[in-house]
Chains A and B, each alone.
Chain A
Amino acid sequence: MSRVSLSEKLAAIVRRDVLTTIRYRNGFLLSAFGVLAEVVAFRYMARAIGPSFRPEGVDYFPFLLVGSGFYTFLITGVQAFLSTVQEAQQTGTLEVLLTTATPAPVLIFLSAFSAFAGKLANLALFLAVGLLLFRVPLLHPNLLGVGLIFVLSLAVALALGVFAAALQVAVQKGSAVIWLLGSVWFLTGTVFPVSALPLPLRWAAWSIPVTHSLTGMRGALLLGKSTSELAPEILWLSATGLVLVPASLAFFSWVLRRGRREGTLSAY
């Protein structure tokens, strides 16, 4: 029986990651500057394209802001977690962490969660600058819907992060997951609507969970769609999460056992 709660463990991991991030002082400031620069670039891109382009019924700037901000949050979260695992392999910390009293699946899931929490600050800054500085009106956003889509998307992204970590431990190439996610970027409706794609690609687009995350988030935040109107996205993300979360943890546990058998936990 553990004498330390999960929330305490999560707090310790988040604290470790926050301290590490802010102690890379220049990197921290540059990353904040990068967020501002991206928002400004999107603003002028939307202005150049003109007000007549209204994908999914919203102005192009908020479409870009939510799409790109949320997509970046999900992908960089996976990437940040993968980097944590890679660094832990290189320094030998991973082996030590896996000999602590905290079970490996718990440790890996909490670490992934912390990586996403770090990227949440970037997303908040991104949206705050875009919405407040450029005065994007939010007409009756469905906050419950925003919360639901966010939590479900996070669960799916966490699972993808755990898959990436497992691949990193198994074959030292967790970056394959990032590559895969990056290669389907144009299908997810990040900078242009899925409806612009030819039909076969549209089917492919709808099979990608991130597409539903972006559509759902835009619907809830920018269009104020009701929770029942968001049902297709909520159901799709729930089903994906229900499959991917346990599957990723089971895969990680299997990989870990294999790594312990072959002595490759710290191979990189």
Chain B
Amino acid sequence: MNAVVFNSVTKRFQHRPALFNWLGRERGGATEALRRVSLHVPKGEALVLLGPNGSGKTTTLKLIATMLIPDEGAVAICGADTLEEGGTVRRKVGFAAANERSFFPRLTARENLDFFAVLEDVAKQERRARVEEKLRLTGLADAGDTLVMKFSSGMYQRLGVARALLKNPEVLLLDEPTRSLDPGSALRFWPFVRELLSGGTTLVLTTHNFQEAAAVADRIVVLRRGEVRSERAFGLGASADLRSADLPGADLPSNRRPSIDEVKAFYFQATGDGEDAPAFETAL
């Protein structure tokens, strides 16, 4: 069964210039963040989204989390349409956003998690144990009574993961989860994520880190300018038949973890980036 299905999804963001735009120069028009994207993630699989800045990775996660509604096409989570059955979808999806500050700064980590646990409908009798478990899992048990305004970026990021796990989600969304972690914590984080998958959780993770993609992915999708440029399955649990024969990398074996160099080569082949590519690129 598929946990996540994107069926020809298009997402546009309109730019509405301010009144008296001649006083400044604000652009109009629209940005097509995703263009006819179709993908599916089988239950228990880890999908990693790779792509340059502005390629549509976070938009994809926000569409799954119901923070956004597609303009065209449909997104379904465990069979529930995000537009028609948003409430059902929200009970199944946990989202650790890249925005590290999305907590109440004058509450402690424990108080923050307890608050979100109430809103996530975690029953009173299991709430305390659930919060302690997630603090322990993310290595924050000793910092549980610290106001989060005193947290470092890495601690915020771990707390974000703890919050996403509170509802024991069927689909876990991680937006650049190790961006602010020290290298040691990142290395320990990846097996932790793989462990979650063994419990049946489906994972969709965005990253710019090839090492992370290699350590976590059952499948990698490369996005660029809102389009799926390439898709490749890896690992024993991956479904090789998901690969499209006409996409780069489709002929590679699918029964083992990829090396970092393989991910890197796959990515650059998919994006078409070469040595002559500009140093920075952002799709607008």
Contact = CB atoms under 8 A, between A and B. Distances in A.
A33 interface: no
B172 to A, nearest CB: 13
Interface in A81-116: 91-93, 95-103, 107
B87 interface: yes
Contacts of A98: 67
Candidate in B103, B120, B121 with the most chain A CB atoms within 10 angstroms:
B121
Interface stretch (A132-140, A175-183, A204-212, A257-265): A257-265
Contacts of A15: 115
Given A20-B106, A93-B103, A263 B118 contact: no
B167 A101 contact: yes
Contacts of A9: 118-119
B124 A8 contact: yes
B95 A16 contact: no
A4 B95 contact: no
Given A100-B90, A101-B167, A16 B104 contact: yes
Interface string B101-118: 111111100010011101
Interface residues of A, number: 32
B220 interface: no
A262 B13 CA distance: 6
B102 A107 contact: no
B97 A96 contact: yes
A184 interface: no
A102 B14 contact: no
B66 A260 contact: yes
B4 interface: no
For A3, A98, A100, A102, which residue has the most chain B Cβ atoms within 10 angstroms?
A100
Given A12-B114, A92-B99, A102 B119 contact: yes
A109 to B, nearest CB: 13
A16 B106 CA distance: 9
B227 to A, nearest CB: 18
Interface in B137-176: 147, 163, 167
Contact of B104 (A20, A99, A100, A257): A20
Contact of B68 (A2, A91, A102, A263): A263
B119 A101 contact: yes
Contact of B121 (A4, A16, A260): A4
Given A100-B90, A100-B119, A260 B68 contact: yes
A23 B149 CA distance: 12
Given A9-B118, A9-B119, 16 more contacts: A8-B118, A15-B115, A19-B107, A91-B101, A91-B103, A96-B95, A100-B90, A100-B116, A100-B119, A101-B90, A101-B91, A102-B119, A260-B66, A261-B69, A261-B71, A262-B13
Interface of A: 2-4, 8-9, 12-13, 15-16, 19-20, 23-24, 91-93, 95-103, 107, 257, 260-263, 265
Interface of B: 11, 13-14, 59, 62, 65-69, 71, 87, 90-91, 93, 95, 97, 99, 101-107, 111, 114-116, 118-124, 147, 163, 167
5 contacts: A13-B115, A19-B106, A19-B107, A98-B67, A101-B87
